[in-house]
Chains A and B, each alone.
Chain A
Amino acid sequence: MSGIAESRAALAHPMIAVPTHDELVEQLFVRDLKLFVGQTLEPAQQKIAAQIAPAIAASGSNSPVDDLRLRMQSFESFTTWLSLKRESQRQLWAAVEDCVERQADQLEALAAVDAPKGTLTLDPDFVAPDYITRGDIHLMPGGNAHDDGSVLQGAVMDRGGAVYMLGRNGGMLNDLRGHTAMAHLLTVAPDINPGRILDMGCGIGTSTVPAAACFPEAEVHGIDVGASMLRYAHARAEHLGAAIHFSQQSAERTTFPDASFDVVYSCVVLHETSPEAAINILAESRRLLRPGGIAIHLEVPLLHTLGDIWQELSSELEAQFNNEPNWRGALTADYGQLMRAAGFTEIRTGYQATAFNGRSALRKFGDTSDGVFRSWFVTSGRA
């Protein structure tokens, strides 16, 4: 996302909302504001925390992160940093929504794909889970389940997601997590040739298309709670030439029969649910697998591997003020234990190196993280 000139034809797929000159500058401003908040303001807060931390450690506190939070709140720069961080997120969505609304008719026309290769199945009676509706995830107004019968909320998530990730997750395609999940699959099963693949909590399909790209012969499905997301995902996948079957379902309990997939995976979904739902999703991924099938659940790096009280507090603030409903639950879970409880064998937990292409990427998986955006936490298991 650099430079001023962008045209629909030059982009990786034509469904993405294309900004005008001014809209692009506005979006770049948000990106740079987020970098300023994270790289200029946050390190100062980290230094304050480092000065306070020894006293908290010496006190033998049972809740050191809560204590740190209370002490940090006495510094005005801390609360200002937090406010500006949240405001930068609100600015992101506002800027992207303006851009999407301006070209709403064009996006709707593009979404009307003739002779699609994949399918879209929406459930008008679907009720989104509480953890989706309690607070709008990432502060995206309306939330993941918002639906006005159009593709617009999906378009907002697509353009917003690329700006939100600061272009570090595959630029406008935002697809490196999906490729990383496929790279993990090929790391643990180099010769696998799956017949059916399911992406749970697929959103607008950024992580689903890589499965179709890596396994063009497979029948690929994606499920999510948001109808607008799925409508957009369907159109986006078609424009990318991927035949994918999208349906509106909860990953906790799908309508697919037992043992109907060879591979089931999710990408950064568990931390947007609840501790109970995460257990249900792991169990559902096990139920859907044929004998010998593989489940993969990719997440952001775990909290207990960070080992830094400021990082823990920073993560908690992100969870609370950016509406991440199961941040602590998903990032502190013992996935080895959870996967065993769900009935998996050959369980792995660790870090998969970020892949730009799941099939050709370096198959690097191990106990240590190379850092945010350079690797992703992954747990996997076999049915």
Chain B
Amino acid sequence: MKSRLPRTPNRLDPIPGRSSLDEQTLAMIVSLASEVTVLRARLDTCERLLVAARVLAPGAVDSFSPDAAAQAERDGLRQHTLNKVFRPLREAALADVAAASHATGGMEMQA
């Protein structure tokens, strides 16, 4: 998306000891924290509006209990999220396992 206004400030001195990747990673985490905060506030607004409109009873979300099918679906969603978010750690661990296996003469190791 093209912005009308400039988006990158002129002159960003490097911070000693911080790599470019450090800076990029930090900026992405801050942006994600911002997005989650906005999303959480929007959910809160929806919940309050639904209670005000008498669509939901107060506390309905907190007292909600999924049935077995819904629970299974939600378990799957959670596993999917974990695998997606922590994929780099799993890959790094597998690479270390491979390296260790190579160093020790190809002993059988399973990740």
Interface residues of A (CB under 8 A from B): 4, 21-22, 25-26, 29-30, 33, 73, 76, 79-80, 82-84, 86-88, 90-91, 93-95, 97, 100-101, 104, 133-136, 139-143, 146, 148, 150, 152-153, 156, 320-321, 323
A104 neighbours in B (Cβ, 8 Å): 4
In the assembled complex, how far is the CB of residue A128 from the closest CB belonging to chain B, in whole angstroms?
12
A321:B4 contact, CB within 8 angstroms? no
Residue of A at shortest CB range from B7? A141
Establish whether residues A97 and B10, one from each chain, have CB atoms under 8 Å apart when the complex forms.
no
Residue of B nearest to A146 (CB): B6
Q: With A and B bound together, what is the CA distance between A83 and B96 in angstroms? A: 30
Cα distance, A238 to B7, chains bound together (Å): 29
| Residues 27-54 of chain B, each 1 if its beta carbon lies under 8 Å from chain A, else 0 | 1001101100110011001000000000
Task: Kindly identify, within residues 38 to 80 of chain B, every residue whose CB is under 8 Å from any CB belonging to chain A.
Answer: 38, 41-42, 45
Q: Do B27 and A79 touch (CB < 8 A)?
A: no
A143 contacts B18, C-beta separation under 8 Å? no
Q: Which of B4, B12, B33, B38 contacts A148 (CB under 8 A)?
A: B4
The total of chain B residues at the interface (CB under 8 A) is 28
Q: Is the interface of A mostly helix, strand, loop or mixed?
A: helix
Provide the bound-state CA to CA distance between A215 and B78, in Å. 64
A to B contact number (C-beta, < 8 Å) = 102
Give CA–CA (A320, B31) in the complex, Å. 23
The CA of A161 and the CA of B110, in the complex, are separated in Å by: 56
Judged by a CB distance under 8 angstroms, whether B11 is at the interface is yes
Q: How far is the CA of A274 from the CA of B105 in the complex (A)?
A: 66
| 25 A–B pairs (Cβ distance < 8 Å), ordered by A | A21-B45, A22-B38, A25-B37, A25-B42, A26-B34, A29-B33, A29-B34, A29-B38, A33-B30, A33-B34, A73-B16, A73-B17, A80-B18, A80-B26, A82-B15, A82-B18, A90-B27, A93-B9, A134-B11, A135-B11, A139-B9, A141-B9, A141-B10, A146-B6, A320-B13
Of B8, B11, B12, B31, most buried by chain A (CB within 10 Å of CB) is B11
Chain B positions 11 through 25: 1 when the CB is less than 8 Å from some CB of chain A, otherwise 0 = 111011110001100
Q: Which residues of B contact A141 (CB under 8 A)?
A: 5-10
Least CB separation from A85: chain B residue: B15
- Rounded to whole Å, the gap between the CB of A111 and the closest CB of chain B is 15
Nearest CB on A from B19, distance (A): 10
**A130 → B minimal CB distance (Å):** 12
Structural contact, A83 and B15, CB atoms closer than 8 A: yes
What's the Cα separation between A320 and B11 when bound, in Å?
10
On chain A, the residues within 8 Å of B4 by CB distance are 101, 104, 148, 150, 152
Evaluate contact between B23 and A83: CB separation under 8 angstroms.
Answer: yes
B residues contacting A by CB (< 8 A) are 3-13, 15-18, 22-23, 26-27, 30-31, 33-34, 37-38, 41-42, 45
Distance between Cα atoms of A97 and B8 in the complex (Å):
11
CB atoms of B18 and A79 under 8 A apart: yes
> How many angstroms between the C-alpha atoms of A73 and B27 in the bound complex?
20
A101 CA / B3 CA spacing, docked (Å) = 8
Q: For A135, what are the chain B residues with a Cβ–Cβ distance below 8 Å?
A: 9-11
- A156 to B17, Cβ gap below 8 A? no
* Contact between A84 and B45, CB atoms less than 8 A apart: no
Chain B residues near A88 (CB, 8 Å)?
30
CB distance from A37 to the nearest CB of B (A): 10
Query: A91–B31 contact, CB under 8 A?
Result: yes
A143 cross-chain contacts in B, Cβ below 8 A:
9-10
Separation of A152 and B5 alpha carbons in the complex (Å) = 8
Q: Which residues of A contact B3 (CB under 8 A)?
A: 97, 101
Pair A86/B15 contact, Cβ less than 8 Å: yes
Residues of B within 8 A of A79 (CB): 15-18
Complexed CA–CA distance, A297 and B8 (Å): 31
> Once the chains are docked, how many angstroms separate the CA of A26 from the CA of B42?
11
